[in-house]
Structure 1
């Protein structure tokens, strides 16, 4: 069984071998320092042959010694902050941790790359009530390379001493600032390496030496689009373990990455050959659809719950909340397991490999070699024109199912226009950002309209269920009417929002 611990720490080093800690009771808030003795730690770090985990600041180790022996997998959260996921000590990597690495490792075998032997002298900083504030350790480290060297004549081992200050749970991070100030006054300096592993890899020649910077060339339309696609691919891969860990908003963000990839393939068809990218786009559509089952149901349930909460109690006839809860639970049953099964499927891993291959050897078209300003703005304008046609068609229809469908199509076009502009923003700057903001406003109106369409269908079903169970269907009908009114309001609102988004000046600035 794995457990997660938020690790907030800072590392320091000395100029010489003699490392002496200053009196830390002089740090505000620290009442006493308790010597906890010395622990001998033996950690073997694992990675792929091309050091894929280290390249993304991920750490996987099997450690013995100390009070937390076992497998440790660390994900970066922010500077000095990592989530450490721990699993019991076992000969092989536990499946729970292996799953969290699958999007990066895939079918590649993990192997030992470096071993760290640390003699850890531990002290606890306590407040006046004896509660733990932080743990300060002086680590004498010896690193041993376990793979063939990647640098000329590197040492097989390296040694150093560092000081690590780790904040206790629920303690104000300002304490780290105060402790750090005291350590710096004593002649210690912040460590130049983000982690022991990074330093060990560098000093033992396990990673190649840094290459000299190369001359930066003027970006082309092709390089610009590929940079955007790689960023979305990287987001997709990085969000995989977040979805597996059920972190907030992770499913939604992973779906957004898949949609942005698919949208860019379509919007920038002058840059990348769509006969190659369209099949990949279909697989991305499949993935987004699979991920969306749980998320869509969650959003719909929250919408209906908020509608019910806003009603006076006198209008809640029958077991309304209970029926909604039963309905939602039944529709979400097994969706979490299904999501994990998709991420573990061969089809998903093949999709990731296909994306890598496409971006490593992109099917570029002649326009890819042209300047960004010659190609990218025109792609955004094409999406705008496509959206304009769909909105005009929707507004020309009478209220009803055909208009609902047309507005849903317009919503998808608005999203595509927005994504195209967001992709263009790094090169085109403010005009593209403003264009994307206006497209998002249109998308929001159309999205709320579509949500009302979906909600009405669900409410009709709930009303039928209530009627068949001998309950009053009055409240469900009332909510249905509210959603119908919302849809009508969004239809009235759309022309005004679209008028602001479709001003000629926006197009002119985009093309300037």
Structure 2
């Protein structure tokens, strides 16, 4: 059975001459318990080209200590990782294999490094007996198992925060250590240091600053592709907001492929764009349901109790449960599918050999401005068409189309911001306001469709439908307010349009 915990830790350099300060004098510490020395034997697994290490992901099989077994560590932030554990076995557990699938694709994982550590453990406890942190002095020996047979050895100090501890305590311990002459480690993990110190001598590629339009577009494309890959395990684990964030990354990437057609060959990326649209659609089922449920609950909360007739909340809960039943399994099935794996392969191929067109060599101030202005004009035409019909289904459909164009124009400006600077930032901000307003309108359209269905169901069950009608009227008013506000919000966005090339 696999479980997980959030690991917050700091690492420090140590030598044979390093002496720990009196840890009992650290502010907030009531006692220090010396737990003695334990012997740890860990074999780290990765692909032959070290894809996991490149993403700061570690997979190991460890014996010794109190947590022997398989450990997968996924980066969250600086000094913070999520550790997923599984019982000791000869092969990588299936759940951990699934969580690294987006990184390794079809490649096998093999043993790459073995670390033998003698860990001297000290447990720091607060004055009230609450565990604060565990400080260990680790004497490490690293053996390269793949890509050479070099070895390395070092000593380091590791301070790991106790579960639910205050991260500020690590700062307190860190100040005490540094006052004693102990310095932070240059490596973020033992594996990273082991790979670096046992690596064969090879020239490291230099990373240049983006100069051309193609450079800037590829930086943005790579960032969105990396988000899709990195969020895969988070979605599988059901972490909050992970589905939404992956969906946004797929939309941003697809939008970039369509916007920067003079930089990346649209013929070569058309199939990938279709697959990104498919993935966004699959991810959107639950997200759209979640947004709609929250909206309808909020509408009911706004009503005085005297206007809530019948079991309206119970009926809404039933509808929500029916709509979201089995959603976690369905999303996992999507991520496990051959189609999704093919999409990930296509992303890797795109970044390895991007289909650049002559526009990629142009100065970013020229080419990116051209692309952003084109999407802006496209949005202007759609908003003009949307304001022509009288309120009703035709206008609703036209406003929804304008919303999609606003999103694309906003993403185009965001992608161009590093090259075009303040004008692109201002344009993106104003376009986001347009997108949000049009999104509010579309949410009201969808909500009204659902409210009508709920009213019909309530009537058929012999329940009062008055409350559903009342909420329907409020949603109608919300849509009308959005339509009235649109000309002014759009006027401000139009004024922020990028009018000429910026930069070179």
Contact 2:373–2:497 under 8 Å retained in 1? no
Post-superposition shift, 1:509?
A: 5.5
Given that 1:378 and 1:511 are in contact with CA atoms closer than 8 Å, whether structure 2 keeps it comes out as no
Q: Give the conservation status (yes or no) of the 8 Å contact 1:294–1:336.
A: no
**Alpha-carbon distance in 1 for matches of 2:202, 2:55:** 17
- 1:459–1:476 Cα contact (<8 Å) kept: yes
Determine whether 1:368 maps to 2:363: no
Q: Does 1:72 align with 2:71?
A: yes
Q: Deviations over 1:346-402 (max 9, x none)?
A: 000101111221222222222222111221101111111111111111101111101
Q: CA RMSD in A?
A: 1.6
- Alignment partner, residue 142 of structure 2: 143
Matches within 5 A, 1:153-164: 156-164=150-158
- Asked if 1:202 corresponds to 2:184, the answer is no
The number of aligned residues is: 503
Q: Give TM-score, length-normalised by structure 2.
A: 0.97
Alpha-carbon separation, structure 1, partners of 2:467 and 2:360 = 57
1:46 alignment partner in structure 2 = 45
What's the offset of the Cα at 1:181?
Answer: 2.1
Match of 1:340 among 329, 332, 347: 332
Give me the whole-angstrom Cα distance separating, in 1, the residues matched to 2:192 and 2:139.
16
Distance 1:277 1:169 in 2: 46
C-alpha offsets along residues 19-65 of structure 1, whole Å, 9 cap, x if unaligned?
43221111111122111111111100000000001111111101011
Structure 2 match to 1:233? 225
CA separation in 1, counterparts of 2:396 and 2:444?
10
The alignment partner of 1:277 has SS state of helix
Structure 2: how far apart are the matches of 1:178 and 1:280?
A: 49
* 1:176 matched residue in structure 2: 170
> Which of residues 493, 498, 506 in structure 1 aligns to 2:497?
506
User: In 1, Cα distance between the equivalents of 2:438 and 2:154?
Assistant: 60
Give secondary structure in 1 for the equivalent of 2:497: helix
Indicate how the Cα distance of structure 1 residues 54 and 316 shifts in structure 2: closer, same or farther if over 3 A, else same.
Answer: same
2:204 counterpart of 1:211:
yes
CA distances 1:438-483 after superposition (whole Å, capped 9, x unpaired): 1111111111000000000000111111111111111111111111
Pairing 1:493–2:485 present: yes
Query: What is the distance in 2 between the residues matched to 1:212 and 1:311?
Result: 62
Q: Deviation at 1:292?
A: 0.6
Change (3 A) 1:333 1:218: closer
**Cα distance change of structure 1 residues 80 and 209 upon mapping to structure 2, 3 Å threshold:** farther
Which of the numbers 183, 186, 195 marks the counterpart of 1:189?
183
Contact 2:31 2:127 in 1 (8 A): yes
Instruction: Report the Cα offset of residue 102 of structure 1.
Output: 0.7
C-alpha contact 1:445 1:494 (8 A) present in aligned 2: yes
Task: Please give the per-residue CA displacement for 1:155-181, whole angstroms capped at 9, x wherever unaligned.
Answer: 621111111111112222222222222
In structure 2, the residue matched to 1:446 is 438
**Contact in 2 for aligned 1:431/1:509 (Cα 8 Å):** no
Aligned counterparts of 1:441 and 1:127: Cα–Cα separation in 2: 49
Tell me if structure 1 keeps the 8 A contact 2:47–2:109: yes
Distance in 2 separating the partners of 1:12 and 1:381: 50
CA distance in 2 between counterparts of 1:237 and 1:125 reads 38
Q: Offset of 1:209 from its aligned partner?
A: 4.7
C-alpha distance in structure 2 between counterparts of 1:385 and 1:450, whole Å: 22
Distance 1:347 1:202 in 2: 36
Aligned residue number for residue 10 of structure 2: 10
1:86 equivalent to 2:79? Answer no
Q: What 5-or-longer segments of structure 2 have no aligned partner?
A: none
Is contact 2:213–2:367 with CA below 8 Å preserved after alignment?
Answer: yes
Q: Which moved more, 1:404-413 or 1:19-28?
A: 19-28
- Where structure 1 has 5 or more consecutive residues not aligned to the other structure, the ranges are 150-154
- Distance in 1 (CA, whole Å) between partners of 2:240 and 2:412 is 26
1:202–1:209: 8 Å Cα contact kept in structure 2? no
Runs (4 or more) in structure 1 with deviation over 3 Å come to 509-512
CA distance in 2: counterparts of 1:61 and 1:119, whole angstroms = 17
Contact 1:431 1:510 (8 Å CA) reproduced: no
